[in-house]
Amino acid sequence: MKAVLSHQNAKPNGRDILVINGELSEYRGTEEQDKAQDLTVPSQDMKSQTFMSWVYRLGGASSSLRLYYNKNKGVLITSNLISKDEVGRNMVYSFFCNTVDNPTRVRKLLEDYCTVASVKPNDKDCEAVEKLLRFQKSKIKCVAAAVAVVVALILLISKCSSN
């Protein structure tokens, strides 16, 4: 399992704060940190769950919440923390985790890593992340169910119109 939390420093001239596999550090440009940082920037091979993120924003999740997903690579979450920087802005964070099968575990990891870094994530974001991952897992079932409903409706309508 590999997980990385990266968040901006509260000081505008401070280095990024990293939690790599549970270990807290300040970004110093080491090879390991660079590799870990690369995982926290959205890449082309990770699909953005824009629409569903928008749905969860209605439920109180942060408007900056983005979830990128690749079942073979992992999940990347970017959003703003409740914690603020020196100029009073909600600090930005990125969290990558290569576990995608267990949404509850991903949420727990995100919360734990934030605790290690002494910052607070938005509870609604954490809730939305778990739900988004559950949705992602059940997406195929949902699509199949939707297709079945549409087919059933078409059959029903055609039967009614033939009568």
Piece of the chain touching another protein by CB under 8 A; list 3-11, 109-117, 131-139, 142-150: 3-11
Q: How far is the CB of 23 from another protein (least distance, A)?
A: 17
* Between 42 and 70, CB nearer to another protein: 42
Residue 66, beta-bridge partner list: 78
CA–CA separation, 85 and 1 (whole Å) = 30
Q: Which of 3, 5, 8, 136 binds another protein (CB under 8 A)?
A: 8
CA distances from 73 to 47, 82, 85, 130 (A): 11, 28, 31, 17
Piece of the chain touching another protein by CB under 8 A; list 13-21, 111-119, 126-134, 135-143: 13-21
**Contacts with another protein, 58-97, as mask; x by CB under 8 A:** ----xxx-x-----------x-x----xxxxxxxx-x---
**Contacts with another protein, 16-35, as mask; x by CB under 8 A:** x----------x------x-
Binding site for another protein (CB under 8 A): 6, 8-9, 12-16, 27, 34, 37-38, 40-43, 62-64, 66, 78, 80, 85-92, 94
